[in-house]
Structure formats: C-alpha cells, structure tokens
Structure 1
Amino acid sequence: MPEPELGPDIVLIKSVATSVNPIDWKVRSGARQKDFPLNLPAILGKDVSGVVTAVGSDVRDFKPGDTVIAMADATYAGIVAVKAALVTHLPDGLDPIEAAAIPLISLTGDQLVRRATQAQPGQTILVSGALGSVGRAAVHSAKTLGARVIAGVRARQLAEAESLGADATVALDDDDAIARLEPVDGVADTVGGETAAKLLGKVKPGGRFGYASVLPEEAAKTRRSR
C-alpha cells in the first residue's frame, strides 16, 4: 500500500500498537458488509498509539516526536494518517501498548451517553454491560455529566461492579431485580438482545434509550410505538 499523504490538517503517526475491536472482525468476516463495504485491498483498524513523524501546515498542537493516541481508519499500518482533531497526547505514565485500546471504546461510551441517551445532571441513567470496555466508559461519562448511574451487570459480577463508582447496581440476568427497578430517565445499552428488550420497558415516558448493539425485533417495535 502507498504511504499516506500529509494534508494541511493531518498528523502522520508511526504506529507502536493498535487494537482489535468487534467492528474489526465483523467487517473482516463480511458480517457488516452492508454497512461497511470494502474495496480490496483494504486496511482495517480504528485505534493507534505511536510517535508523530510529520504534521500538516495547519497543525499547531503536535510536532514530530510527540507520543500520541488516536482514533482513525486504516490503523493496521506502519504509518497512519489522522486528522489532528482526532489525536491527543499520550498521558504521562500510560503505556502506549495499553493505550491503543482506549480511543474507540472511550469515544463510543461517551457518545452513547451524551448523544444517544442525552444524559443530564440529576437524571438516572442505567448502563447495561457496565463492566465491558464501552460500558465502563459510559459509566464514567454519565457520572462526569452529573447523572445518577445504575450499573447493569450479571449477578455474579455485582461485587466487581462496586468498583465502577456507580450509584447503584442491578443484576441483568435476574428478572425479579429488573422488575423491581424504578423507571429511569435513560438507558445506555451495550448488551442488546433480550436484555435490551427488558430494559426498554423501564424507560420513563419521554426518556431515551441509546444502544451500541442491535435491538431484537420486538424491542424495535416497542420503540417505534413509544
């Protein structure tokens, strides 16, 4: 493949590490061909950590030699071209290999809460799959926004979920526990399937249900009728 070009707002990064997210193997297998068609040969990948090798003429916040992380396309490469707005400096003390797992999941969790669920201060937001990577990011973002957060996990994970800093926990595989839940202002769902269908019924009228997975058909019908 040719070397990526350096545009005015582009940062070129020599890759140290990348990640494998579900979207990568789903695209690679053809499972998401309709949503993400590929022209072969193709470079996959969404995350990168590495060292800046060059910056475009309009870039002011980065210089060659900076260690950075970014979310971009085609990150399974030796040199990755990224718009400067999608790059940030690697925080002190963070290993660049571990850091390569951060950008996509943290931005997904944040957007799930801010844009899809539209969490507001004082609201009660339930995050399902709260111990997953996107779920953890969603819990953090919701708390940052001042929401009261309920972490939804499996019953065997309840003790571990206490470390997330959520205000409460609920066992998603316990129908009685879900039935006892008071209606919430929003759900940030990372699980999908039947769990999503159950939680959809716990959203207050006028509340929001944001999801990072695929809703079952019965849940989609319920959503359209609400």
Structure 2
Amino acid sequence: MPKQVIVQPSLESFDIIDTPIPIPKAKEVIIRVAVAGSNPKDWKYPLWKNWPHNSGDDIAGIVYSVGKDVYEFKPGDRVAALHQAGKENGSYAEYSVAPDWTTFHIPQHVAFEEAVTIPTAALTAAIVLYVDMKIPAPWDVVGSAANNKTPILIYGVTSAVGAFAAKLARLSGLHPIIGIAGRASDYAQTLADYVVDYRQGEDSVVNCVEEILKKEGLGNKVSHVFDAISEGGTLETTLRFLDASAGIVSTVLPPELFARDKENFAYPPGVTAINSAVPRVHSTHKDFGYLWSRYLGRLLEECRLKAHPFEVVPGGLHGVVTGLQKLRDGKASAIKYVYRIEDTEDAPPISSSSTSSSKQSQAKPHPLATFPFPS
C-alpha cells in the first residue's frame, strides 16, 4: 500500500504509514509524487501546534487521476503543484493531492528536482510583489517603464522565497534590488544589484543600505522592503531604513509574534505593513493562484525563470525528518531540501508513462491518516 510520512512535533521521530491512494474531489489532482520539497513551515507547524501531520506542500511528479471538473490535466502529465497547507495527503507521500488551480505543467527540460523548489516559494513571492505591494506584473512592464528606478530591499535574498522575489522583481523592472544575505553571498550576487552582509551587524547593514540609496540618487530610505526572514531582529533592522511616510513592508511572519519587543513593536502610521501568506491562493485569491501557476509554467518553458538550488536528502521518505532537522538547525544556506520518493525502501520507480489505476486500495489506513485537519 502507498505510504506517507507523519511528522512528529519533536522532530525526533516520525511515522511512515500506509494510506490508500486518495480519490480526487471535483477540482483536485492526484499526483504520484516523484520529488517532495521542504519549507521552514514544515517543521514549525507540527512544533508550534503540537500537531503530528504530513506537513509537506511542494510536489513534483506524474498525474495519477483527476476530479470530474478538471480539464487541463490528465493522467501521465508531468506537473508541479502546491498542496493546500493543513489538509491531508501532503507531499511527503507516494501520492499527494493538490487543487488544479495551483498545479502547473513542467516543461520537458525541467527536472522534477528543479520543479519542486518552485510552488511555495514562487507563489509566496508573487503574493508579496503583486498582491500586497501592487508592483506591475512582468507582462505590464514595457518600454521605458522597465527602466524606471523603483528600489526594493529583500532581507534574506538567498532564501527560496527571497530569491524568487528577486527574480520576479527583475522581470518587473525593479531597480536597484538590494539583497541582505550571509553565507551564500556568491549566490546573492546573481540575484541582486547590491548585496549587504548582515553578519557585519545591524548598524553596518543600515549604513550600507543608506550609502547604496545615496549612490543611486534615491535619498536614504527604501520604499519597498520584503523581509523574507521576519525573526531574530530583522524586523527591527528593516524599520530603520524603511520610508516612514510612504513605505511598504511585507513580512513572512507576523511582527506581533516575532518582534523582539512583541508588545511595543509598531510600524509608523505612514507605513503599509502586510504579513504576506501564500495560503490565500487556496482561499481569497484562487484566481491569482490559477493565473500565476500557469505563468510559472510559461516562465520555466521560456527559461525566463530558473529553479532554486537544491540538495537531495538520501533515503526518500525516510530522509524527510533529516531535512527538517537541518532546516530547524539553520544548516540550509541558499538551498532547498528535496526528497526523491523512489529512494524510499521498497518504493516503486517513477516513470513519465505512469497511468492511473481504476482499482483503489481498500485496506484500513493508520489512524493518523485521517487526522482531523482544520478547514
């Protein structure tokens, strides 16, 4: 019977359980997972909520079956997808489920390992730039508009979401792109016009940013800030060079929970501050999720967007907790941890010619397989 991983809150243990192949609802795609990818929330949610569950959301693989209202995908298609966070049948499994509107075709020249780095990070970056910051989308940038100076600062530019924010900002003509990074400075140089090393200390970071802005003739404050870290003092640092009268800042974590002084931290009244969250593509922003998922496939096809660097963690499903522990311990630097499901002991090989089976397994699942996920 197919298997999936249940991540325990402690990250010191995990369960690999038998689970029947899911049966798709009307707008769902069942994917035979070739490669699953990890994100920081995959270890944080089980810990924060004391919630054992299959926390993976990034999927790349072969369509196994589709719901009755799905018309863009068929069994055998190569796809990547964003699983709906908090729902059952996440990506740490042999078979996973995704809504059709956050599923997209993978061009033949893009490997599953590359494709799986994209859904969560790129769609989060798109939410940040085009929903919350109201930046013109790449298809709206033409002629001289592409040369107008609109600076953006990305704290954590070599994180997956920070890197995709930089790549999309470039496509939208933003300049200069200022990236704050640390160990992965070489990679940061490929993403940003200027790179500032946060390891030099907060005062040095602020001084460097102000010098860059002065050099570019942009005063000494930044109008657009994306804090892709949002903890450990980054919220306070970005506040020092953010335009207090008309700036906009996006964070990936809520300041009221992750600021140093949680009770007293506040942005100035003139600042627009948004905690950007990708789950909106599965609720209030389904159309946005649909359009951008399709567009990501097109950008990949035309080689206008490249995947994030990745590291394959050995062991398939058995390696998931190892990867999550590395994320928790801060060992990831400009890489995504990914897992080849066929590397799991006894897992059958993945083939692009895979087709759906009309016979679903009827064996009784492990009790955690039907854990009451929140709606």
Bin the TM-score by the shorter chain: 0.7 to 0.9
Structure 1 residues without counterparts, runs of 5 or longer? none
Query: Structure 1 residues 177 and 77 mapped into 2: Cα distance closer, same or farther (>3 Å)?
Result: closer
Higher relative contact order (CA 8 A, sep 6+): 2
Structure 2 residues without counterparts, runs of 5 or longer? 1-18, 85-89, 137-147, 211-219, 271-375
Query: Structure 1 residues 58 and 95 mapped into 2: Cα distance closer, same or farther (>3 Å)?
Result: same
The CA deviation string for residues 114-155 of structure 1, in whole angstroms up to 9 with x for no partner, is 23344357421101111121111110121222211111223x
2:80 pairs with one of 44, 52, 69: 69
Query: Structure 1 residues 159 and 70 mapped into 2: Cα distance closer, same or farther (>3 Å)?
Result: closer
- Compute the displacement of 1:218 (Å): 4.0
- State the identity as a percent: 26
> Which deviates more, 51-60 or 125-134?
51-60
- In the alignment, the residues of structure 1 paired with residue 261 and residue 251 of structure 2 have an alpha-carbon distance, to the nearest angstrom, of 15
Whether 1:207 and 2:247 are equivalent positions in the alignment is yes
| Higher strand content, 1 or 2 | 1
Map of 2:288 onto structure 1? none
Q: Is the 8 A contact 2:206 2:240 kept in 1?
A: no
TM-score if structure 2 supplies the norm length? 0.53
The CA deviation string for residues 4-42 of structure 1, in whole angstroms up to 9 with x for no partner, is 2222222111111112221111123x22x1xxx74x6x3
State the SS of the aligned residue for 1:45.
coil
Map of 1:123 onto structure 2? 150
- Compute the displacement of 1:49 (Å): 0.9
State the SS of the aligned residue for 1:81.
strand
Map of 1:44 onto structure 2? 55
The CA deviation string for residues 71-93 of structure 1, in whole angstroms up to 9 with x for no partner, is 10422222222111111111222
- In the alignment, the residues of structure 2 paired with residue 24 and residue 158 of structure 1 have an alpha-carbon distance, to the nearest angstrom, of 26
Task: Give, as a single letter, the amino acid of the residue that structure 1 aligns with 2:265.
Answer: K
1:24 pairs with one of 42, 49, 74: 42
Query: Structure 1 residues 123 and 24 mapped into 2: Cα distance closer, same or farther (>3 Å)?
Result: same
Alignment of 1:132-143 (within 5 A): 132-143=159-170
TM-score if structure 1 supplies the norm length? 0.84
Map of 2:71 onto structure 1? 60
Whether 1:6 and 2:24 are equivalent positions in the alignment is yes
State the SS of the aligned residue for 2:129.
helix
Query: Structure 1 residues 75 and 160 mapped into 2: Cα distance closer, same or farther (>3 Å)?
Result: closer
- Compute the displacement of 1:157 (Å): 4.8
Alignment of 1:59-208 (within 5 A): 59-73=70-84, 74-119=90-135, 122-148=149-175, 149-154=177-182, 157-164=184-191, 166-174=192-200, 175-180=203-208, 181=210, 182-192=220-230, 193-204=232-243, 205-208=245-248
Aligned length: 217
- Compute the displacement of 1:63 (Å): 1.1
Query: Structure 1 residues 160 and 17 mapped into 2: Cα distance closer, same or farther (>3 Å)?
Result: closer
Query: Structure 1 residues 60 and 173 mapped into 2: Cα distance closer, same or farther (>3 Å)?
Result: same
The CA deviation string for residues 206-226 of structure 1, in whole angstroms up to 9 with x for no partner, is 111111135314486231655
